[in-house]
Amino acid sequence: MIYQPPLQPARLLKRYKRFLADIELADGSQMTLHCPNTGSMRNCAEPGSRVWFRDSQNPKRKYPCTWELVEAEGKYLASVNTARANDLVEEAIAHDRIAALKGYPLRRREVKYGAENSRIDLLLSQHPQGRADCYVEVKQVTLLQEGGVGRFPDAVTERGRKHLRELEQMVAQGYRAVLLFCVPHTGIESVEPADQIDPAYGQALRQAQQAGVELLAYQAEISPERIELVRQLPVRLD
């Protein structure tokens, strides 16, 4: 995925009200960006960090510029735009970069399913009629902790547990179900549940795997010019 229009650099002043961030440009002027991330953004929103943003060039938007990347810990690049995760995964599947999900030429987004009125991120099919074959739920991981470990979630998530329950039900009905951790962070080397943050989610994740839900993690290669999923990472539950 190539960033269009090209991203512009700045320095982060602060992130606040979840959806806003103030930045300083090279000429010393300041601007408020839209922050497309509802999570806590732990370790990815430190004041003074280098950031990159995209200008929508839409004068009708109150905040026409969107925060896309951050330099975490002064050396790693991470995408803070959670809306990119589904696009990255679908692109990787379309180009056969995810070995476990090859052979699904038909892909649909945000399809309603399940007993709890959910929408699946990607519904994959091998059949021209569009019959469901594989349900793929995507979660973005940017919380880097010691030893190159990326942990999910970065805040308590009842919604995340609901998605796991829905995937389990799809397996019980005879479908394939996959939870795919999209890792747009160049410092993360493996993925684990964040048991200290949300122990209930960690328990639910382990239960889902035992019930037959497949767990995958793929890391993105990132630059201010482009971003794409390229490398599988281990998911560790021990």
Per domain, the residue ranges of the chain are 8-79, 84-232
Estimate to the nearest angstrom the gap between the alpha carbon of 199 and the chain centroid: 20
Q: What is the H or E stretch that residue 110 is in?
A: strand 106-113
pTM for the model stands at 0.94
DSSP 2: B
**DSSP code per residue over 12-54:** EEEEETTTEEEEE-TTS-EEEEE----S--TTS--TT-EEEEE
Model confidence over 122-164: pLDDT tens digits?
999 987 665 668 999 999 999 999 999 999 999 999 999 999 9
Q: What is the H or E stretch that residue 92 is in?
A: helix 84-94
In CATH, the number for domain 84-232 is: 3.40.1350.60
SS3 96: coil
In CATH, the number for domain 8-79 is: 2.40.50.580
Q: What is the pLDDT along the chain (238 residues), one digit of tens a residue?
A: 999 989 999 999 999 999 999 999 999 999 999 999 988 999 999 999 999 999 999 999 999 999 999 999 999 999 999 999 999 999 999 999 999 999 898 999 999 999 999 999 999 998 766 566 899 999 999 999 999 999 999 999 999 999 999 999 999 999 999 999 999 999 999 999 999 999 999 999 999 999 999 999 999 999 999 999 999 999 999 8
155: Cβ contacts below 8 Å, ≥ 6 apart: 39, 40, 197, 198
